[in-house]
A and B are shown apart, each in its own frame.
Chain A
Amino acid sequence: MRVRVPTPLQSYTGEAEVYVAVPVLAPELPPTMGGVLAALDGSYPGMRFRMIDEQGRVRPHIKLFIDQALTRDLRASIPSGATVMIVAALSGG
């Protein structure tokens, strides 16, 4: 799974783009956004909690895209070949 990583999180990945292996439990069960974030955290410990709070909600200034589609649902399915893009969006000083 291809994941584009914003600069505030590149202290974890070291790169703007990473590939993570997301386990597929069954052909009819495609990977989910939650699965991608768990896989990211497995490779880059601590990264998930900076994006997702302890109640499982996406933090206010983090946006998650599946290709062009914005989602805040960690259960959202990710089609084969899609790219996940993480955006850290905040204005002001």
Chain B
Amino acid sequence: MPRTKKPVRPIAAKRVRLLLATRKGLWTLTSDLARSAWKLAGPQFLGHVVHHAVADPRDARTMLAAARTGHLGPTVFRSLDAGKTWKEAAKPPAFAEGSGRVVDHTFWLAPGHPSEPGTWYAGTSPQGLFRSVDGGTTWEGVAGFNQHPKRKAWCGGDQDGTPDGAKLHSILVDPRDPKHLYISMSSGGTFESTDAGADWRPLNAGVRADFQPDPNLEFGHDPHCVRFAAGHPDRLYQQNHCGIFRIDRPNDRWQEIGDTMPKSVGYVGFPMVVHPRDPETLWVFPMDGTSVWPRTSPGGRPAVYRSRDGGRSWKRQDQGLPKVQAWWTVKRQAMTADARDPAGLYFGTTSGEVWGSRDEGRTFRCLARHLPHIYAVEPG
């Protein structure tokens, strides 16, 4: 077993807070535990493109925000007082000098294992993996990935990326073992390491890649978001460009679970959200992936789809959401659940609205509007 340090005990929650990372800055939405009255605060970093802001569940004080501006290069800001004040990283994620690669932006932030209180991971665009062991102050490339002999083949070229640049995301740390990691890339696929990132192997069998000449490739897939099932890290759920999938390790093969979605809605989307306690419950937010990929709510009628049986069946949840002419959608980091009972479900839209449910998606109401394009919603 790996040597571990004593985990920091989290502070008991007295409120529910959401961190809203947007194209123009960072906002917060806060309510009491009843989740009935929400208060919007911000902006911080006005004018910065904030791709992700994440609170550290290990201490409930530390927060990191990945930011850049149109003019200025990418950086990471760190708060040690739950977002009141921020300080820039002394050494933000950057590729090795001489590698020829340049980080355009840090896209994904993930706290490390509870036994490693200062450890964080960052995924960048273009695809790079970085680690900090000092709480986000200095970042080093994970050489086992960034310099892997197959990295270039796995990641593809500039033409293989998503419209806003190829991304490394969905960094998952096995709660049982800090050395067991998963990452996913758009494009590239999902990869696994069992030695803290020293080496990696593709984990994409069973996932389709319809946009490739050979849809059953070893890598080159387009996972949009991958999450552990609650309390059950041998199960992963994946929202992919080409469907919704589930894997139950030690199996190495993903199983399609999006084929039971209504045909008129389809199985394309970006977010994947899991229930805080029930490993069989998950939510997706479908978008229109037909024809030229409008990337809007299908038919202008947004809805969340929930499965309570591990993806065998799906139920539409749209009570309170607009019924017609609502063409926004939800990006991969912009939907999340809280840990309350019943769980709250929240998402931020490309048109700057935040919608929330305090009854696990049965009913929604708009919590904020008129914000910039929302990139990420995380519990804070």
The majority secondary structure among interface residues of chain B is loop
Q: How far is the CA of A18 from the CA of B101 in the complex (A)?
A: 32
Whether, in the assembled complex, A88 has its beta carbon less than 8 Å from a beta carbon of chain B, the answer is yes
CB neighbours of B69 from chain A (8 A): 8
Closest CB pairs A-B (n = 7) = A88-B71, A54-B94, A50-B72, A90-B70, A53-B102, A61-B71, A50-B73
* Chain A positions within 8 Å of B90 at CB level: 45-46
Q: Which of A58-93 contact B (CB under 8 A)?
A: 59, 61-62, 88-90, 92
A5 at the interface (CB under 8 A from B): no
- In the complex, whether B97 has a CB less than 8 A from a CB of chain A is yes
10 contacts between A and B (CB under 8 A): A46-B92, A49-B73, A49-B75, A50-B73, A54-B99, A54-B101, A55-B101, A62-B71, A88-B72, A90-B70
Interface flag for A23 (CB, 8 Å): no
**B90: nearest chain-A partner, CB-CB:** A45
Size range of the chain A interface in the assembly = 20 to 34
With a CB–CB cut-off of 8 A, which chain A residues contact B103? 53-54
Q: Say yes or no: B102 contacts A54, CB within 8 Å.
A: yes
A50 to B89, CA, bound (A): 12
- A1-54 with Cβ < 8 A to chain B: 6, 8-9, 45-46, 49-54
Report the separation of the CA atoms of residues A62 and B69 in the bound assembly, to the nearest whole angstrom: 11
Interface residue SS majority, chain A: loop
**Which one of B73, B98, B102 has the highest number of Cβ atoms from chain A below 10 Å of its Cβ?**
B73
Proximity bits, B87-109, A CB within 8 Å = 1, else 0: 01110101111111111000000
Chain B, residue nearest A8 (CB): B71
Within 8 Å CB of B101, what residues of A?
54-55
> A53: nearest residue on chain B (CB-CB)?
B102
- Which residues of chain B in 38-94 are interfacial with respect to chain A, using CB atoms and an 8 Å cutoff? 47, 69-73, 75, 88-90, 92, 94
* Chain B residues whose CB sits within 8 angstroms of the CB of A62 once the complex forms: 71-72
User: In the complex, what residue of chain A is closest to B71 when comparing beta carbons?
Assistant: A88
CB-contact partner of A89 in B71, B88, B102, under 8 A: B71
Q: Are A59 and B73 in contact (CB under 8 A)?
A: yes
